[in-house]
Amino acid sequence: MPESTIQKPKKPTAAFPLYSHRNGRWAKKIRGKTHYFGPWDDPNGALETYLDQKDELLAGRTPRLTKDGFTLHDLCNEFLTAKRHQQEAGDITKQTFDDYFKTCETMLRMLGKKRLVDDLGPLDFRTFRAKLAKTRNPNTLGNEIQRVRVAFNYAYNVDLIKHPVKFGPDFKRPAKRVLRALRQKKGRRMFEADELFDLIEGIDRPMRAMVLLGINCGFGNSDCGRLPMSAIKNGWIDFPRPKTAIERRCPLWPETIEAIEDALRHRPEPQLPEHADLGFVTKYGQPWAKETADNPITKEFRKLLDGFGLHRPGLGFYALRHTFETIAGGSRDQVAVNHIMGHADQSMAGVYREHIEDERLVDVTDHVWNWLFAE
């Protein structure tokens, strides 16, 4: 039949996104190229195919059939289910789960949720990394890449996919040189003695006690927020790190003991029975430790820094831990410093070492006290 006599069908509805091509199929031009989605006599099927492939085509990717294969969406569902079980068992924190969840959302958005995992290869991951790098600094980029690798490795290890995914040579963390340059640009992540002294003298409970724990014992946000009163005995704290459960013991300065006792005397009543042993609770009776990227201690400490005009890059509550490690190293007993910090010792000596004398721990904290109060 001559082309001029072909009776093209009209769109089923005014909002129908496809047009009838003269070759007998429903079509649409996307990114300068015409794509076909089904015959004239099946507009509903053509529309369904278009909606399935639209995101891939708009992103400039070749759509893949997904009915008979394991998709990226399937992988993320299985992976996040496993991570949710780990969170419920206490093996990972809510913050860690949330990070994995956001990473999966990013993968689905940038790689395509209907993409077959078997179709992914080095070129896809090279493009993926380039997109990630536009919105992330080298540290966060490295963390994101690591989480992506964990998800795909999980799928292989539990036999969801038959072969390991080939990431190629480009999908890797930024070079250490790049990370060092970033750290140098941000400056030292620590306090000077006079800054910290003025801060401690100028703040009130309970933050004064928590700041002192930060510089006395190298405590971080979670350490202070989860510290039980039962861990404080006779001027010492025995409290494994919540993050790693590594044993940790630290002698307390008189200033720290006084600040803790003052905070305990004025501590609000916890709202829930399970928080009764917490050393610090907010004025609303809630824990200071929350599994979020911006927890209450972080926010409150930022307000204090603003009030003291301390706006130097890198300063935050965790900078107290950096400061303790840096100054305590001057005691020349790194083993004792590591024990107070709760750092794992993977050396052979660490395997055989059963305890560290209290005198060595006191020498370390005395060294930091002299830096802060005596000089």
The answer to whether the beta carbons of residues 241 and 248 sit under 8 Å apart is yes
Same domain, 281 and 310: yes
Task: Report the predicted TM-score, pTM, of the whole model to 2 decimal places.
Answer: 0.64
Domain presence at residue 163: yes
Least confident span in 165-169, 276-280, 307-311: 307-311
Lookup: tokens for 168 = 């190629």
pLDDT at residue 77, as a whole number: 92
3-state secondary structure of 187: coil
Q: Which residue has the higher pLDDT, 90 or 366?
A: 366
Give the torsion through C-alpha atoms of 132, 135, 140, 141, to 10 deg: 30
Is the same domain home to 98 and 162?
Answer: yes
Instruction: Please give the sequence-ordered ranges of beta strands (E in DSSP) within 187-300, or none if there are none.
Output: 232-233, 236-238, 249-251
Helix (H) or strand (E) holding 281: none
Mean pLDDT to the nearest integer, 192-218: 93
Sheet of strand 249-251, all strands in order from the earlier edge strand to the far edge: 232-233, 236-238, 249-251
298 and 149 assigned to the same domain: no
d(CA 56, CA 35): 12
Contact 46, 38 (CB under 8 A): yes
Band of pLDDT at residue 3, cut at 50, 70 and 90: very low
pLDDT at residue 293 above 80?
Answer: no
Taking the C-alpha atoms of residue 223 and residue 226, their distance in angstroms, rounded to an integer, is 5
Q: Phi, psi (5° rounding) for residue 232? A: -105, 115
**Residue 96 CB partners (closer than 8 Å, separation 6+):** 83, 87
How sure is the predictor about 341, in pLDDT bands with cuts at 50, 70 and 90? very high
| CATH code, domain with 345 | 1.10.443.10
The mean pLDDT value for 29-56 works out to 86
Domain of 18? Answer: 3-58
Cα–Cα dist 266/68, whole Å: 64
Q: Is 16 inside any structural domain?
A: yes
The reply to whether 63 falls in a domain is: no
pLDDT band at 1 (very low <50, low <70, confident <90, very high): very low
User: How would you classify residue 65: left for phi > 0, otherwise alpha for psi between -120 and 50, otherwise beta?
Assistant: beta
Same domain, 182 and 201: no
**Residue 67 belongs to some domain of the structure:** no
Is the pLDDT at 360 greater than 50, yes or no? yes
Over residues 122-174, the pLDDT tens digits come to: 999 999 999 999 998 888 899 999 999 999 999 999 888 889 999 999 999 88
Q: Which of 49-53, 75-79, 271-275 has the lowest mean pLDDT?
A: 49-53
Residues 197 and 326 in one domain: yes
Last residue of a domain, one of 15, 36, 58: 58
Among residues 186, 206, 230, which one ends one of the domains?
A: 186
Structural domain ending residue among the three candidates 154, 171, 186 = 186
- Report the pLDDT value the prediction gives residue 52, as an integer from 0 to 100: 81
Count of alpha carbons within 13 Å of 165, Cβ hemisphere only?
Answer: 28
Place of tokens 């005395």: 366
Name the residue with higher pLDDT: 60 or 220: 220
CB hemisphere CA count around 265 (13 angstroms): 7
- CATH value at residue 181: 1.10.150
Structural domain contains residue 64: no
Mean pLDDT across the chain, nearest whole number? Answer: 87
pLDDT band at 375 (very low <50, low <70, confident <90, very high): low
211 domain residue, yes or no: yes
What's the rounded Cα separation, in Å, for the pair 251 and 217?
8
Same domain, 54 and 141: no
pLDDT band of 328, cuts 50, 70, 90: very high
Q: Are residues 113 and 216 in the same domain?
A: no
Question: What are the distances in angstroms from CA 172 to CA 49, 131, 151, 161, 227?
Answer: 35, 14, 15, 21, 37
In a domain, 349, yes or no: yes
Number of domains within the chain = 3
Whether 252 and 311 map to the same domain: the answer is yes
Same domain, yes or no, for 85 and 227? no
In this structure, the answer to whether residues 225 and 368 fall within a common structural domain is: yes
Q: Are residues 102 and 231 in the same domain?
A: no
- The answer to whether residue 66 is domain-embedded is no
Per-residue tokens: 236: 């010492």
Q: Are 23 and 157 in the same domain?
A: no
